[in-house]
Each structure stands twice: as C-alpha cells, then as structure tokens.
Structure 1
Amino acid sequence: MTTVTDREGSPIAYLYEQDRTPAAPDQISDAMKAAIVAIEDRRFFDHHGVDWAGTMRALATNQMAGEISQGGSTLTQQYVKNYLVHVTSGGDPVKQAQAIEQTHARKLREIRIALQIEKQLAKPEIMARYLNVVPYGNQAYGIAAAARTYFGTTPDQLTIAQSALLAGMVNSPSALDPKENPQEALERRDLVIQAMLDQHRITPEAAEDARNAPLGLAEPLNKIPNGCVGAGPTDGFFCRYVIDYLEAAGFSEEQLKTGGYTIRTTLDPEATQAAKQAAERHVPKKTEGIANVMSVVEPGDEKHRVRALVANRDFGLNPEEGQTAYPLPSGVAKFGAGSIYKVFTAAAALEEGMGIYDTIPSPPSYTSSVYKNGVAPYTVGNAEGVAPGPRTLQQALATSPNTAFVALQEKAGLADTVDMAVRLGMRQTLLGSNASGEALSPGGSNGPSQAQLVKDRNIGAFTLGYAPTSPLELSNVMATLLSGGVWCPPTPIEQITDRNGNPVSITEEPCEQAVDEGLADAMAVGMSQDDDPGGTAHQAASGAGWSRPLAAKTGTTEAHQSAGFLGGTPQFAASVLTFSDGPRPQGICDTTPPSLCGANGGNIYGGKVPARTFFDAMKAIHEGLPVEQLPDVSQRYASGGNEKQVPNVVGMERGEAVERLRQDGYQVEERSVNSQRSQGTVTSQTPRGALPHGGLVTISVSTGYVPNPAPVEPPPPPPGRPPGDGPP
C-alpha cells in the first residue's frame, strides 16, 4: 500500500491493489491461531506440510468423482496457493487461474513447495504468513486488515468470537460476508467455535460466551479508501495531480499501487481549506453549470511547490451532489483566461526593449494591419468601461484596454509572444494540448498544439486569452515572475520513500532562467496597480480589506463564459478561473449566487467572482505572515533600452542553437537533462535577456527519455529468521 500525505506527513490518500499490513506471529492473538487451526487444519502442529491421511482420503474421493473436487490441503499448502494467487500473480487473471487450476500437476507442485517450506520455517511463522496472505472480503487481505476492517482493532486483540468469525470467512469471503450475509456468517462463526471446543482449544465457558456474543461489526466498516476518491472532496484534486505527475515522471500505476511508497506531498492543508471555502463561498458547489477553481503555488528559485488545488465542486463520482473526478484545477480547462494573457504580450514587449513606464496608445477601436478575421481585417474594441487614451504599460496592465495590447502584440511579434507564454509556464496548455484543450496524442493525430496553431493561423486574439487554459499553469506563471524569472515545474512532491524508508529519486524537469531577472521584477511591479483605484480588481480588493503589495491581472473571455484572476505576493502565487462547465456552455451572470444567463449573455468579469475568490482565500492564507514588498525595477526595464538580447534558442536542435549563439558572439556551454522532449532539443537556456558580446550562454539539451524509478527492494527478514527464508 502506498500512502500519500500532506506536507506535514498526515495521510490524505492510499493507493493499493490489496489492503494488507503484515503482522508478526507475536502480533496475532492465541484465539485467532486456535480458530484457524480448528477449522482449517486440526493436525497443523503434527504434520510436516502435508497431511498424508487427508490427502489420500481426498485422492480417493477425487478418483471416484473423476475430477479434483476435494483438496485435503493443510494450512501450509493453502499458504502456497494463496501466495501464488494473491502475490506472485501480480493481479494477472491467467496466472491466478493457473495457481488454482484443478489438476494433479498443480496439486503435486503445491505439495512439493509445502514440504520445502516446512523444512525452512517454524510453525508459528508459517501460520502468520498464511493469516497475512488470505483474503477476508471487503478488500481486506491479511489478518491485520481484517481485524481493523471488521472490528476496528488489531490482530493481537481479537477475541474468541471475533477470531472464529474471521477464521470461518477464509473458506468463502463473499458468501460469508458478515455485512451482507450476517446470518450465514453467524452460523459459520458458531461452527468454528464448536470445532475449537471439540478440539479442547477453549473451555466450555469460553465457548458459551463466544456463542452469545453479537457479531459486533464496526459501523461502518473500517475500510481504508483506495485512490483519489478516498482522499475526500477537498484533497482529491491534489491527489489526482500527484498521480498524473508521477506517471509523467516514469512511475507506473502498478508501481504506485504495490510499491509501498510514502509520498509526502507539498499540500498545505490550511491553504487548501482556505481556498476550498472561498471557491464554494462565491460559487456554491451545486451551482448548475459553473465551476470555480483555484490553484496556489509557492515561488522559489529551486522549486515551485504546489500548495493547494481546489474547486467549488467536490472531488467524487456523483454529479448530482456537485462532484466531479475531472482534474479541474490542474487540467486544461476548455475555456480561456481572457486578458490575463496580456501579461505575455507585455513581457515580450519588455524583452524587445520597452519599459513599464513607457507610454502606449489605447484608441477606442483598432484595426490590425497584421491579423485577419477570415478575409476581413481584424478589428478590436475595448470592454465596457475601459476609457480610451494613452497610458503607461503599467497602467495598461491595470486597466486592460484590448486595443493597446493587440497593437503591442504586433510590435513584439506574435511568435515571440506565444513563446514567452511557454517560457513563463504555459507548457502543457500551449505545447501539450490542441485547440480544444485535449492532450495531444503520441502520434499527433489530434494536433497541432495550441502554440503551433496560433502561429500558423496568425491569430491576433492570442493576447485576449480566448483559448483553453490550465489554472495551475497560470499560477506557475506568476510564481516564475515572483522568483526572479526562474521557471520550475509546479511540483506536488516533497519526498518519496520506499517501503523500507529509503529515499526514491524522481526525474523532474530542471528549473531554468525563463526570462531575465530584471524583466521578471519589472513585470511584478508592472502588474502592481490592478488592486489600486482605477484597476480592474480594486472593488474586490477593497471589499476584502486587502492591503499587501500585489502583482495581479484580471481576464474575461468575449462571451462571458469564463473569467479569471491571476495574482501573487512574494510568498504565494495563485489563480482563479470561473467558467461554464456544463454540457451546453453559457454566459455567466454576476448574480448572488452566480448563474448561467444564455449563450450570448453574461456580465461576469475577472474583477468580480474570480477576484473575490482570490482575495477571500489569499487573505486567510497570508494571515500571520510578514508583509513583503515587490522587487525594485532596474532603469533598463523602467524606461526601456536597446541592450543586445540573447537569441532565444529553446526548442531548437542542439547544433542549430549552438551555431546561432556563436554567430551572435556568445560562448556556449552544454549540459544534458532527462526530458520528454525529443533527443537533442534545447529545453532551456541561461541567461535570458541582455548579455554583452563574448558572454557565456548555457543550454540544456534533452536526452529524450525519462528514466523509470528504481524498483523497490523487498523488506529485510525479521531478526532470527533462518537463512533462505523467502516466500515460496
């Protein structure tokens, strides 16, 4: 069983094929040992693995019947069979069938192995192994899981009545399930008690007390939930991201379910609770057709730890109860983040030489000479309430005029703007998903990627954020900007240890300097007026009593079917995306609570539900933390400059990248990194931005593969066990 925990080590989920925890011989009650011997193998302590009298009796019966209908199996033989069925078969139905096939060959092999085991192991060890391997129904394998599941106790505390019930169940766990068939289970229990009495393993008084005892089952049964649904309504989304992340890092589903790992995640329970409450407070979970999702990432120049992934929906399988198992916060939502994408246009413009205090025009309407709307010119206007007129880039980020940013995207270049979005963090969104937000298939049959499509079709609306978007990647964009331009994968993993407590390595994408540090700092300050008077989030910030320095941007898609908010402090970055998640998407109206209002209606904006959710959650998350200031802005990014920029070679083939850099007068150093990108592809470069001639540029080149995690070593044998004491 693999245990998934939060950052403090408290379990949030379990992953397993079988709920099994081994118990040592001295951890099992004498009553349980007596019960299993009485009903399954009364001569257990007398034979040497095979009860020859019983075997010959079964053989004669089988010959008369013309088939293998009776086994005469000892506990040792049953241990062999159950081990082969439930352990070595690995869940393979063919191997399981072979382990129980009714043939003389199988029976003879079982006898041979049983005889070998009896020469190597003491009787108490064999009995403990048998009790640890057999199934007891309700996904409980082994006596420890059974004791907890049915009685909420440990195997050393099992009473005579409890032991008799469990011993009787191994004959047929389904038919004798005490929860579903209490009368049959009770009769079988009393049969075991009588056998224990007849064999003088208990006194008549003890037998009478046991027969009079009720079944005494735990209510409900103490099952350990399996998988992310078991993580509960709040933590299930985070659990789902953990599994997806580890599978991308080379862990198979079988490894995760049978490796016995302890996966300590980065989940912050307090931040998660605050975000969950805010998401539901502003869009109740059963609100028809509207999802409200939030992700929180902690910035850092060595790691970007994911602290919360929540939605107003609960994680589960019952839509009528406001549940979904779709990874809303970490997956690619079908709707866009709107004007939040203007962040990428601004960053691309800064890299081209602009400063955040440079003035840009903002006419009431703008017709592009570069982009088209089919065969017609591409004309764009501003949203309601956005006044025309020139303003600084910083003011434009706060007031969000569409006309200014479409014109700015023309100057910065669409391809460079898309690449900037990828560099800052929109990697699965733009490189790994198609225009519908679906993950690209290995063969590319459902492609091209969003990034390629935007470039190929010269889509000027990219800066307006019309396309499917990952809320988690949006948060990581802000984390990159607040980490001095260092991009790291948004990781949910703090540490993994195997069943023996040894650390397990995981291949993660290396951090990289995505943009120049000065550019990142300037973007943080450039986005710092959104919550000021005149900014699109001022009303929501004021209503929440927000007073900390903040970098932020709002966004709304054209038909009001989605809206978003991206914001962060030096301590935490977060995004909120509110979107129509029903089968027939509609516009969203800012009512109380929010509601759907037609395919072409709606009045939601990023400064409304998304911003309210953000400030509600982030105020609680920051409670007790010191107030930290945003970084200073260098002269270059304050008022612009013309320093030579290092060419962007990420995505190029290694040879092409080296030649390009050397032609521009730079020295080149290479390093290899494990990555899913094609072998020989440049995955990152350092530095970005300005660098004098002759400077050193380091490029990371993909090996083209992600190594699988090392297999987990089996646990060492307990002290005192004889040499060669392995499973059959």
Structure 2
Amino acid sequence: MRKTDAFFKLIGLCLLAGILVAGVLFPVAGAAGMASNTASETVDSMSVELANVPPPLVTTITDSAGSPIATLYDQYRIPTATNQINDAMRWALISVEDKRFLDHHGVDWQGTLRAALSNGAGGETQGASTLDQQYVKNYLINVIYRNDEVGQRKAQEQSLARKIKEARIAIQLETKMDKDQVLTSYLNVVEFSRKIYGIGAAAQSYFNTTPEKLTVTQAALLAGMVNNPPYYDPWNHPQRATERRNLVLDRMVENQKLAAKDAERLKAEPLGVVPDGPSKPPSNCTGAGPENGFFCQYVQDYLLTNGMTKEDLYTGGYTIRTTMDQNANHLAKVSAETQVKKNQKNVANTLSLVRPGKDRHEVVALAANRDYGTDSTKGQTTYALPSDVSNVTGAGSSYKIFTTASALEQHKVGIYSTIQTPQSYVSKVFIGGFKPGCPAVAQGTWAYCLQNYGEGNYGPQMSLQQALATSPNTGFVILEEQAGLGPILDMSRRLGMRNTMASNSANGGNVDPKNPRPEYNMPQQKFYGPGGISRNGLGAFTLGVSPTSGLELANVAATIVSGGVWCPPTPLKQITDRDGKPVSPIHEAPCEQAVPAGLANSLAVGMSKDIEAGGTAHGAVPPGWNRPTMGKTGTTDVSGSGAFVAAVPQMAGAAMVFRPDYPIGGLIDGGPGNVTAVPGTGDGNMFGGKTPARTWFGAMAPLLANQPVVPLPPSDPAYER
C-alpha cells in the first residue's frame, strides 16, 4: 500500500470512528436528525426483541414416569445461570475478546479508535467490538434471524449503519443489565459449531462436564472458538484449535488472570476433547432408540397435526411428558420381535396399546418388530409403522366390527339374532370382481361374487355372535347390504378410523403412474361408499381390504370397551414450557359418545367368543388366560396381511402383520420367529389368529399379570335380538 493511500485511509477511518461516536451519542438536526430518530425507534424495537425473543432451547420428551427418552432441537443449548459459570471461563472469554469489559458501558471507545488507527495504518487487523456488541450480533444471527439468511447477512455487514445500531443497542443493554447478566447472556447464545450453542451445551459436548467444572485449558479452548467456531473446530482442525487456545492463555497472562509459568505448563496439555466428535444427543426421534422411537415419532406427528409448528416444537424448550408406559412398550416390542425377526425382509409386525376411558384414551405402547432408526441394512426404519396408515393391504375381517355396529344401531339385527351364512353369495347391490367357483349368474354382470373360506366350514346360518367368532364372509356382506355402506363407513369413522378413512390411498393408492386412476386419490370414506366408484359402494369394505392404521384400530377397541365413548388416541400427559409452567399449545379433539353405551357393551359381548373354542383366535390364547376378552381377527386375500384387535376393560390393542415394502403377495407363518414373505405374488398361510393374536397375547399376558380380572359390561337387551 502506498503511504498516501494509507494516510487517506487513516484519515477516513478516524472520521468514521468520530461519526460512529456522534451517531451513537448525538442525533443531529434536520434530515439527519429525523434519520437518527428513526434509528432510535429501531434500536428501541430491537432491544425489546432481544429481551422478548427467547433463544431456541431443547424440547425433552419423557415417558409417563418423567424419564427422558428423546430430545428435539434446532440448536443444542443447555441454559446456564451466572453462578454456574466459573472464573476460568469468565476470565478466558474477557481476556481474549474484551479485556476492558468491566470498565466500559457497552462500547469501548478507546478500543474503537485504536482499531481504526491500527487498521488504517496497515498494521495487524484488530476488532473493536465489545462483548455487549458481540452479544447483540450473535443474538441477531443465532436467535432472531436464525432462519433468515438475508437478516443474518445484514447483522454481519461491514457498514456504518450496522455499527451504529449495534453500538446503540449495546449501550442501551448496559442500562438494563449488569455485567454478569451481559456475560451470562452472551455465553448462553454464542455458537460453538456443530449446532452447539451456549456454554452449557459446549461444556457437555466437548468435555462431558458442566460450566462450573471447566478447567483453565478447557475454558481457554472454548473462549477461543467463539471468534470463528468452524475454523477452530478441535476435531477438524486440532492444530488451529491448539494455537488459538494457547493464545487465550497468553491473553489471560497479559490480563493478570493467569501466571506465566502456569500458562507455559498448560500449553503443553492435549486438547482433551471427547473422542470422535462432540458428545451430544440426537436432535430428533432417533435419540429415543430402536424401542421407543416409534412412540416419539407419534408424539411429534400428533403435536404437529393438532396445532403446534415444527419451529415451536424444536425450539420451544418444552418438556413433554407422554403416556408411554416403559414396561408396556418393552413388552410390546419383545412380543412383536418374538413373532417376527427384526430384519425379516418385507415383513412388519406391529402392536399398538391404548388404555380405555370415558375422558381419555391414552396410548401406552407403539411397537414393531423392526427397530426405529436410519440404518436400513439392519432392518431399521423411521416410518411410523404402528401409528400411520401403513398397512396398505388392510386388516381383513376385523372390519366386520363396523358392519356389525351399524346393523345393531339400525336394529337390523341383534347379537343373538340368526343371520344367513351361505357358502357362496352374489351381491347385485355392490360392484366387485369375479372369482373362480362363483355361480354363473355373476359372469358378465356387475355384481360382487364371494364365498366363505374353505369348504363346509360354516352352516347356512348362525347367530351373529357365532359369526363374529368364525367370520363367514357371506354373512357380513349380506348384513352390509341390509345396513348400507354409507352408514357403515360413517360408523368406522365414529368408532375411531378417522385418519384412516380420510387417507387417500385406497387399495394401495395410485401405484401405476403410467395408468393414472383419479378415483384412487379419493378419501377412503368416499372411495368405498355410494357414489364413489360405484353407485352403491364397494362391498369388499367389510372384508377389510383398505389401508389401515394399527393405532386407530386399537382405539376402536378402546371406544367399544369405554361404553361407546371415542377419544383421540393421545400420547400426552402434560406439557410444560421452558419455565416449567404447564401449557396447552395444541388443540386436542374432545371425547364424544360415538355410539350408545348399550350398543357398545352389546358389541363387546358379541365379540367375546373369538378366543374360545371355535373362534378364529382360540389357538393363540396362552395357558391360564381367564380374562373376559372381546376380539376379532382379520386376514386379507392371499394371506397378505393379518390383524387381531381385542380388549379387556383395562387395555385395548391391535396387532397387525403385513408386507410394508412390496405389498403384493402372501405371508407364511411357520411359527414364532419364522414368518416370511412369499417370493413373488403367491398365496400364504397367514391368519389373524396366528402371528397377530400371538403378538397381542404375548404382550398382554405379562402386562396384566398383576391386575384383577374384570368382566366385560353386560349386553343391552335392546341390541340382543
């Protein structure tokens, strides 16, 4: 640089420093005065934001007992009080960043002029920002504009306007905060790289310790990082980090906060950070682990569906106490995995448990044979298998519950009434496909032709209660004709299949993009109903061919044993804010009387024979099970999926086994731990009374072992015949 250039640059920077002083302290008249007054209003507004916009904090999710299971965050930050920051950290930061911090009032005018002179004369570049000013800048970048790149750039731009605003806010802060508060606030907001913010999180992540226990060398390393966190990252750049740490030690000596001989000794110490990167929890539900991750995922989905934003969830610092029972969730996981290996290709086995009640339906367990996680090579998934509408091939004859409930409501039949159950049947009310062996009358006509499973397994008629236990297809399609598909579909929604019926993936959705079928984009409520793709609807609905949520199916059972009261399947016990105060940041749907109590009680009695001799789930009942139980099995075409939905008064649940990756084809049940997907599209031998029922009982038997045997409520004569 030529001497004349340096001279004029020096003069310009001196003038700039003078203008900065004037601009901060003395608004001028005229247009400049108006601009300054506007700036004053901006400063006032900004200072209010600094006070009222809290920094992002970690949201903690716990089980029902209050034990943490996961953390959700955008910035990993552990709030730290002044008395939790030791002198080593305090003096390391002051020494390297603002050694006159205790003497100035927000702006270091001596440092500002010194920096201007040094930089203008071509000497070593020096900064002049105080910790107050750095706090302002970091708050703007890391809090107020954390998701706004334009705002972040403005908060860092090298301009007079920005410097004036920053300085004025810093001076104003000093009128409202003492030095300890400024220092603590700065150390709570500043970044330490890798989504680590604040000294509490930094001490934990870098050294597995707390701020009050930081050593001098540890404090020096962290203090040195705030200048440029990625550049001084000790794992990526250990040499740079060491040199910077040692510079901080030298500055502490200059500031008379460390003896020279101690500094020389400390410089020889290794960095001492935890090996292999920072020690911090995962920032999402993977932190809940393979067993609890599905429940965590449901908590997140439930909150976002019911009014909370992801931004608020991941930055609000909430403590979300859930309804998850660790013991129940563990038993459910063990049972699901006992029946189907966790890495079994294209086989998912899920179990959802819901506690019945007339004011709440608490979800206590959500489990799958697969682990929750991101490593697909280990059979892991982050797809919400138990709670989402994930079983696209359906839950089979368990949907006969809805046909039965609707027919009972309309008094078309009672639970002890006799219904017709011919071996084969042709319905001209509904549209459907044709199957080999159906009467010739169906050929070439729009009709629904079906037959019961097996030969000679059913008589021509039986009681509705017996039909619920043995599940003849023809009897329920005839009952479906009598009740009408519109009311039946409405009943399925009322009893609990709300997200399921609103989903638009009927029959697996529009699986062929080359041959679009717009009707497959209809909500299931419309797709299967009158006026959907058929004038009178699709009769196969009662046979459970539609995509299904296992959790909602479990909640149907909870509704029935709760006297017909539907409540949303909630995973929430209590939510408290960052200050520990209870809050209600979402809107949960109120409970409602879905069906009369007498109908629900009668339906439960009607479904009470499935686990007795002759019922389709009888073989899965463990020895010693003596609890009155309502239940219904279900199996889909070619045994591609199976379900068992059941309840006792204390607990309801649904188990489903299905093909999650390639849904076309059957499943083979070779006994516990030996369930496989049929290669190709062939038939299997899966039934709801096999893997699903064994999964249900495998969790329920130990879970209820110490609870009293409670009878099902008695049926109502109005719904008996």
1:522 pairs with one of 595, 602, 606: 602
2:169 to 113, 117, 133: 113
Structure 1 letter corresponding to 2:614: G
Q: Which residue of 2 aligns with 1:54?
A: 111
Task: Name the CA shift for 1:251/1:65 in 2 (closer, same or farther; >3 Å).
Answer: farther
Distance 1:249 1:438, change over 3 A: farther
Aligned to 2:676: 595
The answer to whether the 8 Å contact 1:437/1:469 transfers is no
Retained in 2: the 8 A contact 1:340–1:465? yes
- CA 596–434 in structure 1, closer or farther in 2 if over 3 Å, else same: closer
After TM superposition, list the pairs within 5 Å mapping 1:275-286 onto structure 2: 275-286=332-343
1:102/1:531 CA distance change after superposition, 3 Å: same
In the TM superposition, 1:353-392 aligns within 5 A as: 353=411, 354-373=413-432, 375-384=445-454, 387-389=457-459, 390-392=461-463
CA deviation profile, 1:498-543 (whole Å, cap 9, x unmatched)? 222222223211111111111111111111111111111111114x
2:580 to 479, 482, 501: 501
Unaligned runs of at least 5 residues, structure 1: 641-728
Structure 2 letter corresponding to 1:378: Y
Task: Please name the residue that 1:489 is paired with.
Answer: 568
Match of 1:173 among 223, 229, 233: 229
Distance 2:468 2:519 in 1: 38
Q: Which residue of 2 aligns with 1:699?
A: none
SS of 2:348's equivalent in the other structure is: strand
Q: Is the aligned partner of 1:18 residue 2:66?
A: no
Looking at structure 2, the residues matched to 183 and 584 of structure 1 have their Cα atoms a distance apart, in angstroms, of 54
1:179-328 matched pairs, under 5 angstroms: 179-219=235-275, 221-328=278-385
Contact between 1:165 and 1:189, CA under 8 Å: does it hold in 2? yes
2:709 partner letter: V
User: Does the aligned pair in 1 maintain the 2:566–2:593 contact within 8 Å?
Assistant: yes
Offset of 1:64 from its aligned partner?
A: 7.0
Q: Which residue of 1 aligns with 2:700?
A: 618
From 543, 555, 564, the equivalent of 1:464 is 543
SS of residue in 2 equivalent to 1:314: coil
2:497 matches 1:426: yes
In structure 2, do the counterparts of structure 1 residues 330 and 385 end up closer, same or farther at CA, with 3 Å as the change threshold? farther
Q: 1:71 aligns with which of 114, 127, 136?
A: 127
Runs of 4+ in structure 1 off by over 6 angstroms are: none
Report the TM-score when normalising by structure 2. 0.84
Name the structure where helix makes up a greater proportion of residues. 2
Superimposed CA distance per residue, residues 626-675 of structure 1 (whole angstroms, 9 cap, x where no aligned partner): 1111111122222x2xxxxxxxxxxxxxxxxxxxxxxxxxxxxxxxxxxx
Q: 1:472 to 1:203 in 2, by over 3 A?
A: same
Cα distance in 1 between the residues matched to 2:81 and 2:154? 29
SS at match of 1:515: coil
Equivalent position SS for 1:136: coil
> SS where residue 296 of structure 1 aligns?
strand
Amino acid at match of 1:611: A
1:28 to 85, 100, 124: 85
> Once the 2 structures are TM-superposed, how far is the Cα of residue 42 of structure 1 from its aligned partner?
2.1
Task: Report whether the alignment pairs 1:133 with 2:189.
Answer: yes
Q: Are the structure 2 counterparts of residues 626 and 263 from structure 1 closer, same or farther at C-alpha, using a change threshold of 3 Å?
A: same
Matched position secondary structure for 1:339? helix
Q: Tell whether the 8 Å contact from 2:393 to 2:663 is kept in structure 1 after alignment.
A: no
User: Of residues 95, 99, 107 in structure 1, which corresponds to 2:155?
Assistant: 99
For 2:637, what is the secondary structure of its paired residue? coil
Q: Does structure 1 residue 541 correspond to structure 2 residue 621?
A: yes
> CA 1:494/1:433 → structure 2, altered by over 3 Å: closer, same or farther?
farther
CA distance 1:551–1:476, shift in 2 (3 Å):
same
Contact 1:339/1:465 (CA < 8 Å) preserved in 2?
yes
Would you say the 8 A contact 2:507–2:520 is kept in 1?
Answer: no
Task: Give the conservation status (yes or no) of the 8 Å contact 1:298–1:479.
Answer: yes
**Aligned residue identity for 2:590:** P
Q: Which TM-score applies when normalising by structure 1?
A: 0.83
CA–CA distance in structure 1, aligned partners of residues 79 and 509 of structure 2: 43
1:600–1:223: structure 2 CA closer, same or farther, 3 Å change rule? Answer: same
Deviation at 1:438, TM superposition (A): 6.9
What residue number does 2:690 align with? Answer: 608
- Among 399, 408, 421, the alignment partner of 1:341 is 399
Residues 69 and 488 of structure 1: CA distance in aligned 2, closer, same or farther (over 3 Å): farther
Higher mean C-alpha displacement, 352-361 vs 482-491:
352-361
| Contact 1:386/1:401 (<8 A) preserved | no
Is the aligned partner of 1:330 residue 2:412?
Answer: no
Partner SS for 1:575: strand
1:153/1:387 CA distance change after superposition, 3 Å: same
Distance 1:540 1:23, change over 3 A: same
Superposed displacement of residue 29, structure 1: 0.7
Cross-structure match for 1:660 = none
What is the rounded CA distance, in whole Å, between the counterparts of 2:121 and 2:662 in structure 1?
A: 64
Instruction: Supply the distance in 2 between the matched residues of 1:91 and 1:79 (Cα, whole angstroms).
Output: 18
Cα distance, 1:226 vs structure 2: 1.1
Query: Secondary structure at the residue paired with 1:39?
Result: helix
Per-residue deviation, 1:436: 5.1
Shift of 1:117: 2.1
- Alignment of 1:634 onto 2:692: no
Shift in Å at residue 203 of structure 1?
2.2
| Displacement of 1:380 | 0.8
Is the Cα contact below 8 Å between 1:587 and 1:600 reproduced in 2? yes
Matched AA of 2:422 = P
Q: Which has the larger radius of gyration?
A: 2
Q: How far apart are residue 43 of structure 1 and its match?
A: 2.2
Look up the SS of the partner of 1:327 in the other structure: coil
SS at match of 1:535: coil
Cα pair distance change 1:502/1:385, threshold 3 Å:
farther
Moved more, 527-536 or 360-369: 360-369
Pairwise CA distance, 1:104: 1.8
Decide which moves more: 102-111 or 288-297: 102-111
Give the Cα–Cα distance (whole angstroms) in 2 for the partners of residues 445 and 177 of structure 1: 55
Provide the secondary structure at the position in 2 that maps to 1:297: strand
**Stretch deviating more after TM superposition (588-597 or 338-347):** 588-597
Q: Do 2:64 and 2:322's aligned partners in 1 also have CA atoms closer than 8 Å? A: yes
In 1, Cα distance between equivalents of 2:368 and 2:333:
6
Provide Cα deviations, 1:76-130, integer angstroms capped at 9, x if missing partner: 2111111111112242222111111121211121122222223333222221111
Residue deviations 1:142-173 (CA, integer Å, cap 9, x gap): 11111111112111111111111111111221
| 1:445/1:129 CA distance change after superposition, 3 Å | farther
Question: For residue 465 of structure 2, what is the aligned residue in structure 1?
Answer: 394
Q: Which amino acid aligns with 1:83?
A: Y
CA distance in 1, matches of 2:267, 2:663: 61
Structure 1 counterpart of 2:601, one-letter code = D
On the 8 A contact 1:85/1:99 being kept in 2, the answer is yes
SS at 2:447's partner residue?
A: strand
Q: Secondary structure at the match of 2:154?
A: helix
TM-superposition CA deviations, 1:188-240 (whole Å, max 9, x none) = 22222222223321124532443343322235633032121222212221122
Aligned to 1:569: 648
Kept in 2, the 8 Å contact 1:289–1:585? The answer is: no
Q: Relative to structure 1, is the Cα distance of residues 335 and 60 closer, same or farther in structure 2, using a 3 angstrom cutoff?
A: farther
Listed one character per residue, the Cα deviations across residues 398-445 of structure 1 (whole Å, up to 9, x for unaligned) are: 111111111111112222211111111111111343425679xxxx99
How many residues are aligned here? 633
CA contact 2:545–2:636 (8 Å) conserved in 1: yes
1:386, distance to aligned residue in structure 2 (A):
6.7
Residues 335 and 249 of structure 1: CA distance in aligned 2, closer, same or farther (over 3 Å): same
Q: Are 2:106 and 2:132, in contact at CA under 8 Å, matched by a contact in 1?
A: yes
CA distance in 1, matches of 2:173, 2:161: 19
- Conserved? CA contact 1:138–1:223, under 8 Å: no
Measured in 2, the distance between the counterparts of 1:212 and 1:618 equals: 61
